[in-house]
Amino acid sequence: MKRKQFKLLTILSLFALLVLSACGTTESGSGSTTDSDADKDSGKTKVDYKFLSLLTGGTQGTYYPLGGTFAELITTDTGVKTTAEVSQASAANMTALQNGEGEIAFVQTDIAYYGTEGILMFEGKKTDSVSALGALYPETIQLVTLENSGITSYDDLKGKKVSVGAPGSGTYANAEQLLEIHGLSMKDIQAQNLDFGESTEGIQSGQIDAAFITAGYPTSAVEALNATNKVSIIPVSNDKAEALIEKYPYYAKDAIPKGTYGLDSEVPAVSVLAMLAVKKDLPEDLVYEITKAIYDNTDKISHAKGEFIKAETGLDGIGIEVHPGAQKYFDEVKK
């Protein structure tokens, strides 16, 4: 009888230990990550950070030179060494933040929205550990070709070799949507997946006919092309712009001014916004100081896009959750 009781007690004890072990794994986070884990604060403060990575884009775009300036401002004002890193830009940056491969990143507002919603190129890969720091400037979708290419409208792209950016990139999504509004698709062109530098080099060498480039103008890669060849930017008519905005509200009407790239007249275009995104679990005090370092020192930004970066418009066009540290800064600005 005693032996049976002992066996019963042993079995019950083992069962209790298993239950406690399972509960401990769930509650402590030492097991699988739950959906809410991405929203939890890391428990760290500014003093826990010695280095920060700021993910930009290719060296021929706008993100990289601006990122270098931002990194200097953040390093100087926060005391946390910040480095601007070359990357594959918007979509890749959202994924990199999600995977903990950086702390701050340049992204397009449309791509940030896709990521946090888990749609389009982020289908099944939702970036739920990313929040917004602030809006920066318009990123114009520029369809670049040469004046002697014979391409003067979107219809002329049929059958041509056109760079549309890497699959899953912000530029690719913009190209796809603009082609759609003009009654075209990727099947109507010979799509080439090139970065900005490769695109303009390809146009110059005659290997491709045109390229979609989503970046703040003037874009260094396009300026370099115009230094040796007369550049042409294909316009987006008012009715097509309105149709695009009606279907995809994150776009806005834009125009590339006369004189940019030696243009003889203003060219109507459309744009999305560039913004900075951060890891959700960055401490509030650190993100507050990062935001302040950038928006309080816009007079130190030498790039042409610096004039568009203002604290007063820092939340314009943001379609994702704003980090509490950034929100604190913008709330103070409004007072």
pLDDT at 187: 97
Q: Where are the domains of the chain?
A: 46-137+274-334, 139-272
Q: Which amino acid is at 199?
A: S
- What length does the chain have? 335
Residue 271, helix vs strand vs coil: strand
pTM (2 decimals)? 0.74
Question: How much of the chain, in percent, has pLDDT values that exceed 70?
Answer: 87
The reply to whether CATH 3.40.190.10 applies to domain 46-137+274-334 is yes
Residue 33, helix vs strand vs coil: coil
Give the homologous superfamily in CATH for domain 139-272. Answer: Periplasmic binding protein-like II (3.40.190.10)
Per-residue model confidence as pLDDT tens digits over 267-304: 999 999 999 999 999 999 999 999 999 999 999 999 98
**Do the domains spanning 46-137+274-334 and 139-272 agree at the CATH topology level?**
yes
Do 154 and 185 contact (CB within 8 A), yes or no? no
Cα distances from 200 to residues 47, 82, 194, 217, 222, in angstroms, run: 44, 30, 9, 15, 7
Residue 322, helix vs strand vs coil: strand
**With 50 as the cut, is the pLDDT of residue 92 above it?**
yes
| Tokens at 237, concatenated | 């008519």
- Cα 282 from Cα 284, distance rounded (Å): 6
Q: Poorest-confidence range of 2-11, 122-131, 234-243?
A: 2-11
Q: Poorest-confidence range of 34-38, 176-180, 297-301, 304-308?
A: 34-38
Q: Where are the beta strands (DSSP E) in the chain?
A: 51-55, 81-85, 104-108, 130-146, 161-163, 190-192, 210-215, 231-233, 252-256, 267-279
Q: Which amino acid is at 58?
A: G
Q: Which amino acid is at 77?
A: D
**Mean pLDDT over all residues of the chain?**
87
Cα distances from 74 to residues 45, 80, 87, 223, in angstroms, run: 16, 7, 19, 29
Which single residue is written with the structure tokens 């970036």?
127
Neighbours of 182 (CB within 10 A): 19
Q: What value, to the nearest 5°, has the Cα angle with vertex 251 and ends 153 and 191?
A: 45
Which single residue is written with the structure tokens 């003009």?
182
